[in-house]
Amino acid sequence: MKKNHVIKALLFGMLSIIIANGHAYAQSWQVDKVHSTVRFNVSHLVISEVEGSFKVYEGKIESKKPDFTDAVINFKVDVNSIHTDNSMRDEHLRSPDFFNAKEYPNMSFKSTSFRKKSGNKYELTGDLTIRDVTKKVVFDVTYGGTIKDGYGNIKSGFKAVSSIDRIAYGLKWNALTEAGGATVGKEVGITLNLEFAQAK
């Protein structure tokens, strides 16, 4: 009888472990704005590029797996926080010619998949909404790793790169140069350098 009790106890223990692993709690991560940047670039007059950034944003990751392959990512950017080192240009970008920030003050991103390609290279797919338009966007992501900082906080770092067609999102203003080229390019590059802190 003792032997049967021992076997039952072992089986029960193994079952408990399996159930616990199957119902592991998701870890929540919040973007650390002090160590992150949200930047973009677009061609100007065909011959050069202008860079800019957004200063106000928030981001969150929910993931049960340590390699983030099941991650659900949500990100929101305050369009009014756009900054290109030129106040007149920034006001024009906030206007109905571009973001129409008064009517659409935020743009948002919600992931649909976060897939590991190889090593620390991932592919992030999701829905990006600008103004009232939502379209699928794919980011190439480099996962920098996870580490504990000097204050005992767990941090994870990512760099995500993509490009979008601004015209498709209703940011349609343009003018032609004397040579017939576009003053502002159609393709906008996006570069996100993000550090996330694990919620305590």
Residues 19-70 pLDDT 10s: 444 445 779 999 999 999 999 998 755 456 789 999 999 999 999 998 999 9
In a 13 Å sphere around the CA of 142, the CA atoms on its Cβ side amount to 6
* CB-CB contact of 26 with 61 (8 Å): no
pLDDT at residue 87 is higher than 80: yes
Beta bridge partners of 53: 39, 83
Predicted confidence (pLDDT) per residue in 120-169, tens digit: 999 999 999 999 999 999 999 999 999 888 888 899 999 999 999 989 99
86-123: b (≥16 Cβ within 10 Å) or e: eeeebeebbeeebbbbeebebbebebeebeeeeeeebe
Q: Which of 169, 196, 74, 187 is nearest to 124 (CA)?
A: 74
Give the pLDDT confidence score for residue 43 in this predicted structure.
77
Question: Average pLDDT of 99-104?
Answer: 95
